[in-house]
Amino acid sequence: MARRIWLPYPDLAAAEAALGRLPGGLVADFFLADGRWPDSIAEVELLVAPYMRPATAAMERVDEMRSLKAVQLLSAGYDNFLPFLPRGVQLCNAAGVHDASTAELAVALALARTRHLDTYARNMPSGTWGNDFATSLADRRVLIVGYGRIGEAIERRLAGFEVASVTRVARRERTGEVPVHPIGDLHALLPEADVVFVITPLTPDTEHLIGAAELAAMPEGALLVNISRGRVVDTDALVAATASGRIRAALDVTDPEPLPPEHPLWRTPGVFISPHVGGQSTAFYPRMQRLVRDQLARFAAGEPLVNVVA
């Protein structure tokens, strides 16, 4: 019997143009989380959730998906889907899909803030020639908090910038050629970091992982780059630390998000904000398509899915 899947394309022609012919044994309907629902809601077994759509829009009628076996996300983050996940349904994220794009933006954010590119952009409308002396990534001590695939990709991209050192932190200690410190070492490591990249998933353990104490532990003039989730950093503490001028921040994620126009972070000197676009580049599509093709082949063959996070 054919197995029913939902794909985030308008029709079969668009799906096969992106993914190629669907594996035998699968029948697809098409779902964009735009308020229109396929009639096969009780038969769908695998849902590929549309990218950049709220979990509420994709999972609003999950109680009617009585045959659902798995949900495949096109994002690396998955915390927003967990509250909607029925018991016994697998959740797979898009680990690997966003590594290149997010790592690229992380380094770009660091460069923009250390080399004052954001200040120069603000000077352009007035024609202000604001020549000054900036900080280089060269010779900086780097700390990567949440050292997984994207953390590794950030480190690879830093290799050409002559940073002084890279220190890695993850949930658990890892020994070997590339040592990784456990999260318990974070406070001891922060005082020795000039640039701190935060790329840890949002979990109950990592919410406000970076708070007032952690920001105070960073050296004078240090830069915090958050490309994980906004709630990993305590926003009130960040406003206070950056408003004082003691540290700087480059943020692709905020709490709340979107950041309200009146929020002080928009106007805090030393803070640069991009609107949660880490994964949104041309690098997304070929990597996403490879992942979905592989998952569909596995699902059709009855093989275990990859990237299972819940």
Q: Which two tokens stand for residue 44?
A: 């769908």
Strands of 271-273's sheet in order across? 181-182, 165-170, 141-145, 195-198, 223-226, 248-251, 271-273
257 is catalytic: yes
Candidate list 168, 229, 231, 287, residue with the active-site label: 229
Cβ–Cβ < 8 Å for 246, 65: no
Cβ–Cβ < 8 Å for 285, 74: no
Cβ–Cβ < 8 Å for 138, 163: yes
Residue 132 to residues 119, 125, 127, 243, Cα–Cα distance (Å): 10, 18, 15, 21
Residues 6 or more apart in contact with residue 162 via CB below 8 angstroms: 137, 138, 139
> What does the alpha-carbon distance between residue 89 and residue 41 come to, in Å, rounded to a whole number?
15
Candidate list 162, 257, 290, 303, residue with the active-site label: 257
Candidate list 3, 113, 248, 276, residue with the active-site label: 276
Burial class (CB in 10 A: 0-12, 13-18, 19+), 45: middle
276 is catalytic: yes
Catalytic residues: 229, 257, 276
